Structures are given as C-alpha cells and as structure tokens.
Structure 1
Amino acid sequence: MLALVHGKQLAGHKAVVVGAAVSGVAAARLLTALGARVRLLDRNPDALKPGVREQLEAGGIELALGPHRKADFKDAQMVVLSPGVPVARLSSFLEACPDAQVMGELELASWFTQEPILAVTGTNGKTTTTTLIGHILESAGRKVFVGGNIGTPLSEHVLSDERADVVVLEVSSFQLQNVKSFHPRVGVLLNFSANHLDYHADEEEYLAAKLNLFARMTDNDLAVLPLGMKELLQARDFTRARRVYFTPSSRFREHNLPGEHNRSNMEAAWLACKAFGVTDEQAAAAVATFQPLPHRIQKLGEKGGVLFVDDSKATTVEAMRAAIESFDRPVRLLAGGVFKGGDLEGLVPLLKQKVAQVGLFGANREIFEKAWAGQVPLFWEPALEGAVTRLYRESSPGDVILLSPATASFDLYADYKARGKDFARIMARLPEDREVRQ
C-alpha cells in the first residue's frame, strides 16, 4: 500500500473522491491544491448546485456524475470517501485500484492540520457540546475553528489562510469508522446508545467506530468519557490517553440549557476546555451567555396556555427520553419518521409518568404502535400538521406539545431542520382562542 503522509507526496497522484456534497467537494479542492489529479464521483447526476460544477471543472477537477463504474476507480492511488459512504458499498469498484489508500475527508484534512484538535463524538448532544466548547474557548480569548460534521469541513479550514489556537470538531461514526491516523489532542465521548443501525452492521460496529476517535491518542492526550460507561470502557483496550470521567453536574448555576443531559454536556465541555487552560470563572461566564441551538428542545412559545417545543434534532430514542425528562408539565408527544433503531419499549415507564398523549405521524407507525399501543393514548396522522392540530385541539392549558420524533426525517422532509421549521409554521397558524380550537 502506498504511504501518503505529506502534501509533497501527493503531487501528481491520482485521487478519487466519492460523494459530491460539502465534504467531498472540500476534499477534492484540497487534493487539487496539493497537486493531485482528482476525479469527483457522485451517483446523483444532479448532486452539484448550479455554478459549482463549472467552478470545479475550471479548477482542474474531473467530474463523473451518475452510476459508478469500475473505470472511474482504475489506477487510483487514493480514494477519499464522504461521510455516509460505506466502504462495503464500493467493494466491487475498489477492485480496480487494489493498492489505493482508502480514507475519509476528515482523516485527509487532519494530516495538514497544524493546530491541536479537540474532537467530540457521541450518539446525542454532539452539536450542542461542540458549539458550547467553541463558545467557551472563544470567550476565554482563544482563536477557534469549529466545524467537521457541523458547518464547515476541516478541509476548508486547511485551505484557508486562517489559523486557530484550537480546532474543535464534531465527528460522527460515519467519519470515524475507517480512520487510521486521526489524532486529536482531546477527545470527548458524550454518550452511547443504539443508532444508525441502518448503516452499521450492529451496535458493536457502531461503538467501535465511536471509539476509533481515541485509537491514535497517546498518554499526553486526554479522553473525556461518561462515567456511566466506565465499566464497559475499562474492559476495552481502545486508547493510551489519560482518562477523565464526567457525570451531570451543577457546576454551572447560570445557563440556558434545559435537562439532565445538558448538565452532562456542560461538564464534558468544561473538562475539555480545561485542558486548554480555561479557568472556572471563564467557563462559567461563557456558559451563562450560551443560547440553545435551534431544533434542540427549543421553546417556540405558547398558544392558548400550551407550550410548543421543537426538538426535531432528536433522531434517537435516547434523545427523545432526554427531552421528555426535561419537563414537569404534561407532555403531548409528536413522534414518527424513519426509525433507526433503539428500545422504544424501554420508554414505556417514562411515557406513563409524563406523557398524556402521543401523536404519531409519517413512516414507521407500526414500530411505535407495537411498542406503545395500550400503554399510552396514541393516534396516527399521515402528516405532521394533522398530528399537531389534533394534539392542540385535545390539549389543556399547562401542557407541552413536544416534537421529539426519535427518527430521521427523510420520509417527509429533507432534514430535521425542515421538519422543525414546518412545526413552527404549523404552530404559528393555530388559533389562540381555545374555544375556536375546540
């Protein structure tokens, strides 16, 4: 296998990038800047936005949009995968380049990242915690780049002229599954529960991908880990890094992040930032000014005495659990969509305690009904608007209508953001007068 470590060694090499979304385009541009001959592939003929295609071709990048062919991979010395493109899907095509080095955009870009990396992974809470870490570090006077699985790919930062004191990255299991050299200075694992079982072979493969974050760390590095997983993690030889464990903490008295899960996220963020010299006082001041991100237990307001909360980002069962536990008021829950796995039956005691009614919508109603029928009042509507309207009609002042679906959104929406925005639109159109709504 060809050893490719530094940019000079890439000059003239033939590289194939699979996936023409944001990360793939950034990787193609980085490779081109390093002197590689690049071909960018995507099975979707319309993957590139108007104007982008012309820019890439003008920059010397060859495009192959449409069904993959073995010829597209022939003699490639490097194959770079966008997040969410499984190696297994490409096995027959990779036969055309048996000596190629296969990696993801994250690993490629990390080779050329000069700053220390602080990387955050976990099943739930990654984006909030990553953004919070960036906010704390910036408030403490550090120059920070925040990106990775959120916002800007690391390749774009490498290509820019800007440098940071710390590179803060959200990293997903898709990005981590095949990494071999990725080496953060601080790695954070927030939590773990079944997820993405439509992508990973099983729960063990999913966990192994998460733990890849720590595989290349040394005893000079720091692993920030959940105390609830200590016994499980101690049985695994997954890192040489120093380990610190966190639990939900009341360290920060002034904050705007509801729920027990966010007390864990704040503690993990503090431990990670402490490694870069942030003081207790600096962290407390920063946490007090941090605002929740959209679609994450976001309070939209009240209508007729009923609070509407957008937690559309809750695409897992555990995220749904955390959202429900955040409220002491009766919850009327909106759930449904493309189910990715998890223990719905395990939620039944919590539903009986806190949930007055469940409004199912969209796909996979049978999975929810099998787990919850007879345990909690529920109904199904084909679309979100019908479910919201009925919950509102049957609610009482003091209730919470909570969109926390525990699913991906792709049955009805482009992404969780579109689902959350539609929820806000529906809420805005509901009548304020309770008599009208009845």
Structure 2
Amino acid sequence: MKQVEQLYQKKVLVLGLAKSGFTAARILHGLGAFVTVNDAKPFEENSEAQELLNMGVTVICGRHPEDLLDEGFELVVKNPGIPYNNVIIESAIEKGIPIWTEIELAYLISEAPFIGITGSNGKTTTTTLLFHMLNQDRKKPLIAGNIGTVASGVAENATEENVIVTELSSFQLKGTDTFRPRIAIVTNFYEAHLDYHGSFEDYTASKMKIAQNQTSEDYFIYNADQPLLSAFAAKCKAQLIPFTLKGKTEHSISADDEFVYWQGEKVIERSKIMLGGQHNLENILAATAAALLWGGTKETITRVLTSFTGVKHRSQFITSWNGRKFYNDSKATNALATKSALEAFPEQIILLAGGLERNHSLEELRPYMERVKALITFGETADRFAEFAGDCGVPAITKAGDMLDAVEKAVSHSEDGDTILLSPACASWDQYESFEIRGDAFIDAVLQVTEANE
C-alpha cells in the first residue's frame, strides 16, 4: 500500500459507516490522518464504531450534529449513499471542503492499476465476465467496488502485479478527484437515480468522471450505439474503443448476427456464447475488448464465453428439464430490466412477475408481452400485473401464493421448448428481504419441482 503524504495529520471526517466507511476510516487512521467518524446508528448498536474507537478514532454516533464541521475538517469521505443535499454535505460544499468517496482513497493507496466499469445497466455482468477472462489468463486480477467488495480494502493489499477490476456507481464516481483507471468502460446510459442526482445531466456527468483524468496512454471503451455516449467520448483524451452491435468494424470491437469481431477478425461465433440477449452481448463486447487490451488471449476469452452462464440473479441459467429452460432474473426490480430480459429470450416465455407496489408504469413491457404465453403473478402487484397482461392479450394468467406455487403453476403451463423466467419488474420487499433471497427461493423451487418429476 502506498503511503499518501497529503493525508498525514490531515483532519478528516468520515460520514457514514457500513463497510465502505469503516474501511476508509481504518485506512485513513493508519495513514496518520486525524479521523472523526460520524454515523447515525447509536454507538451501543454500532460494532464498527466500537472497533474504530478502540483503535483511537474519534467517534460520534446516534446523530449528525449541525455544528460538526466547526472542528476544522480539511476533507470529508462520505458513504456513497448519502445524498449531496444532506445538511452536512451542503455545508462542506459551502466551506470548500473536498468531498470524496472511498474510491478516491483506494486509487491513492493502490500499487495496482485499475480497470473501471460503469453504466446504467450491465456493470456487474461486465465486471464479473472481465474478471473471469483475466483470471483464467493468469493476469492476477482483483475484483472490487459496487459489486460488493470495498475498493480501498482491496487496494491496500494489492501489488504492482495485480489489476483491480472495479464496478463503479454514479454515487461512487461523483466523489472522485484524481481517480484514473487505465481502462474505463461505460456500458450505456439510461435515466436512473434522478432522486439522488437531481438531473440526468448530473447523473451522466458523474458517470463520465471515470474518464476525466485519463490520458493518451489509457483506453476508453464505450457503447457507440448510443449517440450521447459517443458525444461524451469525443471529449475524452484516452484512446477510444467503441463497441457496436450494428455489424463488423475494422478498427474496434463489434458484432453482427453471426460473430464477434476484434479489429475485423473473428473472435467467437455468437451461437457458441452461453450468455444470451442483446443487452448481454454489449457486456460481452466491452469485457472482451478490455481483456484483449490487457493482454488476454482469444483462446481464453472463447473458453470463458462458452461456459459463463451469467451473474447470479441476473438472467442466470438454472437448469434444463424436459425441454424447458429455467432462468433467474430476480435482480430485475423495475420494468426496464424486465424488458431487457424479455427482449433477450425467444418467444414462448412463461413469465413470473410481481412484488412490491411502487406504482411504477408497466407500459415499457407492452411491446414484449406478445412473447409471453403465460404469466404467473405474485406479491402486492399481482392483480395490477394480471390486468395489464390481460390487456396485452397474454393467453394464460395465474396468481400464485408463494414461489413454489409459482414454479409449479409455471411448469403446468409450459411445453417442450419453453423458457420459464423469473423477472419480477418489482422490488422484493413485500415478501422477501432482498432480491437475492427471492432469487434463491426461485432456484430452490425449480430444483424441488424438477427433481420431484424426474
């Protein structure tokens, strides 16, 4: 880990704990900064705060004092989820105090270079896919960021032999200053998190901070099929690597109906790729380009693409049984994500959908409902989904009480060649604590039903 002189004896406020705040505070304390941690959770319930106090870190818990910044802090490191209209953050901005997320700290302490991946959709799949490609090619990758592993915690143990493959959200990138990935990837832009950012312009500008410090020695991989991203790319200083699904190109990465190409040469036949869907093909192009730029081989990339079936809960292939294929897309917590899933599969889908009622429109799904031969609904939105599906002309609509009941009813409506897809288009919290638990319940139900009918 690099020693960062600019942080030595600097007064730093870490706002919000959880995994990222705890790790940042611990590292900053180790670098010789004078660290104060402020977290809303009461001290007696806050194991992270208790541990930091034992290290000698100043801890203020259970409230956010309005006069907190009167202590003369020179830097604020905030939890990414804390919005910029937070009273303390607004006050720090007025005082001209720099505001970081721990991604900036990770970059400053890391001996390893970074590959950064962001975008509205596809970040996790692209990050995971790229990690597997580099790992199988023995490039010693580490995986970090929004995918679940705190980047600064990974960076403190990384060496020059490693590369840190990092999934990055707009929340994380907005709080960066000098962060410079050697390869930056932006998968796509869609409207998201406007409640946090206030505008689409701020959202996209935050995402594009991934490339703001890149130079001509670096690479920027982006979706050339989106005009807005192409316009952003034109302002970048890095070497541009556009990807497109609109046919073969000679100087970058591309795909047509039959092949994936790198600089005009065939990499893999599309029919051999395990991960289905147009949206996943974008992720495949981005990950493949990055792997090749980092010295990966076409042979390894082909091996990964012919075996990788997806990230858990994201169009994850579960099993084949009596000619039916089962897919778990529990991560689809809104209509846009379910639309992408429906678009990815051929017709004759039995769709399992429903969940927490947020009164979101389902209209984005209408053009794709003709692919659905049966809908199994559940949760708070079950009746609204049923009414919508009926209006779309879905032939069979059934309400289920729980996931096992839903899978049993889906199987009863299915035939040889059908796809049975969990893609709820809703959050899980009406019935499950998380989309992961919901997805695991689906997997368990599928295995129970198929094994019982062997």
Task: Tell me the CA shift for residue 384 of structure 1.
Answer: 4.8
**SS of equivalent to 2:155:** helix
Structure 2 partner of 1:361: 378
Partner of 2:223: 226
Q: Which amino acid aligns with 1:401?
A: I
Paired amino acid for 2:97? A
Given candidates 388, 404, 413, the residue that maps to 2:432 is: 413
Structure 1 counterpart of 2:374, one-letter code: Q
Secondary structure (helix, strand or coil) at the match of 2:351 reads strand
CA displacement, residues 32-57 of structure 1 (integer Å, 9 cap, x when unaligned): 1111122223323389775x444322
| 1:107 equivalenced with 2:125 (yes/no) | no
Counterpart Cα distance in 1 of 2:322 and 2:442:
17
Q: Decide whether the 8 Å contact of 1:188 with 1:225 is kept in 2.
A: yes
| Equivalent residue number for residue 141 of structure 1 | 138
3-state DSSP of counterpart to 1:141: coil
Q: Does 1:259 align with 2:277?
A: yes
Aligned twin of 1:285 = 303
What is the match of residue 63 of structure 2? 67
Residue matched to 1:86: 83
Equivalent of 2:369, from 331, 343, 351? 351
Matching of residue 40 in structure 1 with residue 37 in structure 2: yes
- Aligned residue number for residue 343 of structure 2: 325
d(CA) in 1 for partners of 2:435, 2:136: 29
In the alignment, residue 148 of structure 1 is paired with which amino acid?
G
Partner of 2:196: helix, strand, or coil? coil
- 146-155 or 6-15: bigger deviation: 6-15
Within 5 A, what are the aligned runs for 1:206-217? 206-217=203-214
Distance 2:385 2:43 in 1: 35
Any conservation in 1 of the 2:354–2:379 contact (CA below 8 Å)?
yes
How far did residue 19 of structure 1 move?
2.2
What is the TM-score normalised by the length of structure 2?
0.82
Gaps of 5+ in 2: 246-254, 261-267
Residue from 329, 332, 347 that aligns with 1:311: 329
Letter in 2 for 1:190: T
Instruction: Write out per-residue CA displacement over residues 215-266 of structure 1, whole angstroms, 9 at most, x where no aligned residue.
Output: 2222222111112114653267652222221124323234431222222212
RMSD (CA atoms):
3.4
Tell me, yes or no, if the aligned pair for 2:114 and 2:163 is still in contact at 8 Å: yes
Cross-structure match for 1:131: 128
Q: Is the 8 A contact 1:258 1:326 kept in 2?
A: yes
Provide the C-alpha distance between the structure 2 equivalents of 1:262 and 1:341, rounded to a whole number of angstroms.
28
Match for residue 56 of structure 1 among 47, 52, 56: 52
Q: Does residue 1:204 correspond to 2:222, yes or no?
A: no
Contact 2:189 2:229 in 1 (8 A): no
The aligned amino acid for 1:362 is: G
Q: Secondary structure at the match of 2:190?
A: coil
Amino acid at match of 2:317: K
1:365-419 per-position Cα deviation (integer Å, ceiling 9, x unaligned) = 6886786561144868696538725743751323333111234434443332112
Q: In the alignment, does 2:271 pair up with 1:271?
A: no
TM-superposed CA distance for 1:104, in Å, is 0.8
- d(CA) in 1 for partners of 2:390 and 2:81? 34
**Whole-Å Cα distance in 2 between the matches of residues 284 and 31 of structure 1?**
42
User: CA–CA distance in 1 between the matches of 2:452 and 2:164?
Assistant: 50
Q: Which moved more, 1:323-332 or 1:406-415?
A: 406-415
d(CA) in 2 for partners of 1:97, 1:263: 44
Q: Which runs of 5+ in 1 are unaligned?
A: none
Distance of 2:443 and 2:304 partners within structure 1:
29
CA distance, structure 1, for counterparts of residue 426 and residue 386 of structure 2: 14
Segment of structure 1 superposing worse, 326-335 or 269-278: 326-335
Aligned to 1:166: 163
Contact 1:309 1:401 in 2 (8 A): yes
Matches of 1:87 and 1:355, distance apart in 2: 42
Query: What displacement does 1:187 show?
Result: 0.7
Larger RCO (CA under 8 A, 6+ residues apart): 1
**Local SS of the residue matching 2:391:** coil
Q: Distance in 1 between matches of 2:85 and 2:178?
A: 20
Q: 1:208 and 1:376 mapped to 2: Cα distance?
A: 41
Query: Quick check: 1:47–1:65 contact (8 Å CA) kept in 2?
Result: no
**Matching residue's letter, 1:170:** E
Give the aligned length.
428
In structure 1, C-alpha distance between the alignment counterparts of 2:346 and 2:286, rounded to whole Å: 25
3-state SS in 2 of match to 1:246: strand
Residue type of the alignment partner of 1:400: T
Shift of the 411–97 alpha-carbon distance from structure 1 to 2, 3 Å rule, reads: farther
Aligned-partner Cα distance in 2 for 1:370–1:213: 43
Residue in 1 that maps onto 2:249: none
Q: In the aligned structure 2, how far is the partner of 1:20 from the partner of 1:285?
A: 40
